[in-house]
């Protein structure tokens, strides 16, 4: 039985990925890879679908469409807020933002999106689950076990790669930034006298140096070996931004990578 729900989790995570990408096609007119991982799955969708399925299968069995909708709205809001907060704390990055949406909380959740997930809960329980669970229950235990093991192995590899690439990229940017900051501090200390520290010419020079600093960081990343650069760029397409003043340079690099890609 556990293998059925493992496979169910990955299937619905894939469905969530397709839904997100198609929604972006309708919204922006172009395909946009979504989600935290490299692979075509978004685990938050699988987690929500699996939790709802287990709840309405083994817990609250006397449910109605209204109760499914309300529970889906509340549960999805809690799950989405927690996942956004956890990713931000771990990586200082966020993959979605509802800052411009009405009735949002810290840009992590909003009423319109939560209501949308409420509708999605109805679709999962009444439209997707009946045929999907029927197919899964009709499969042999061996086939389910093999599928579950393959999905878990791929997911583990993807998760490891994603975390390693993001951590490596942040570490690399910070080391380059620290090196350039030290160079700038040495330049200011050695070449700027106290009498000119506050004039417009000085601040203009600092602005120009900062522009050079940003270009150096972007160029360092773009001149990395091709495999890592491809990994970095593919991953960055899914990130919407970084949080915190110390990571503003990462937002600049992120914007430059995306701008350069759009110009090609």
pLDDT digits (tens, 9 = 90+) for 114-160: 999 999 999 999 999 999 999 999 999 999 999 999 999 999 999 99
Question: Residue range 104-119: average pLDDT?
Answer: 94
Taking the C-alpha atoms of residue 23 and residue 31, their distance in angstroms, rounded to an integer, is 9
Backbone phi, psi, residue 104, to 5°: -100, 160
Question: Residue range 102-122: average pLDDT?
Answer: 94
Mind listing the pLDDT tens digit for each residue in 159-211?
Answer: 998 888 777 776 766 666 666 566 655 655 555 554 444 444 444 555 555 56
- For residues 50 and 200, the model is more confident at 50
State which of 19-23, 66-70, 157-161, 218-222 shows the largest mean pLDDT: 66-70
Burial class (CB in 10 A: 0-12, 13-18, 19+), 250: buried
Instruction: Tell me: pLDDT of 256 over 90.
Output: no
Question: How much is the pLDDT for 215?
Answer: 61
Question: How much is the pLDDT for 34?
Answer: 77
Instruction: Tell me: pLDDT of 24 over 50.
Output: yes
- Angle, vertex CA 237, rays to CA 88 and CA 103, nearest 5: 50
Residue 233 confidence class, pLDDT cut points 50, 70, 90: low
Q: Enumerate residues 6+ apart whose C-beta is below 8 A from 97.
A: 107, 108, 240, 241
Mean pLDDT, all residues of the chain: 80
């Amino acid at each position: 039985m556990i293998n059925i729900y493992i496979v169910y989790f990955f299937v619905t995570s894939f469905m969530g990925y397709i839904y997100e990408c198609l929604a972006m096609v309708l919204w922006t007119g172009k395909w946009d890879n979504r989600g935290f991982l490299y692979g075509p799955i978004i685990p938050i969708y699988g987690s929500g679908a699996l939790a709802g399925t287990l709840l309405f299968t083994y817990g609250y069995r006397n449910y109605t469409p209204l109760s499914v909708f309300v529970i889906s709205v509340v549960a999805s809001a809690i799950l989405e807020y927690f996942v956004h907060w956890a990713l931000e704390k771990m990586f200082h990055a966020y993959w979605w933002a509802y800052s411009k949406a009405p009735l949002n909380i810290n840009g992590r959740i909003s009423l319109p999106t939560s209501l949308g997930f409420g509708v999605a809960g109805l679709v999962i329980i009444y439209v997707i689950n009946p045929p999907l669970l029927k197919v899964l229950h009709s499969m042999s235990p061996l086939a389910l076990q093999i599928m579950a093991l393959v999905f878990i192995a791929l997911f583990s590899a993807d998760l490891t790669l994603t975390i390693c690439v993001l951590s490596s990229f942040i570490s690399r940017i910070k080391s380059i930034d620290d090196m350039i900051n030290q160079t700038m501090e040495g330049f200011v200390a050695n070449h700027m006298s106290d009498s000119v520290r506050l004039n417009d010419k000085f601040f203009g020079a600092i602005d120009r140096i900062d522009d050079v600093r940003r270009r150096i960081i972007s160029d360092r990343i773009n001149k990395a070996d091709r495999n890592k650069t491809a990994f970095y760029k593919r991953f960055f397409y899914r990130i919407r931004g970084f949080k915190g003043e110390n990571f503003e340079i990462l937002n600049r690099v992120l914007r430059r990578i995306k701008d350069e890609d759009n110009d090609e």
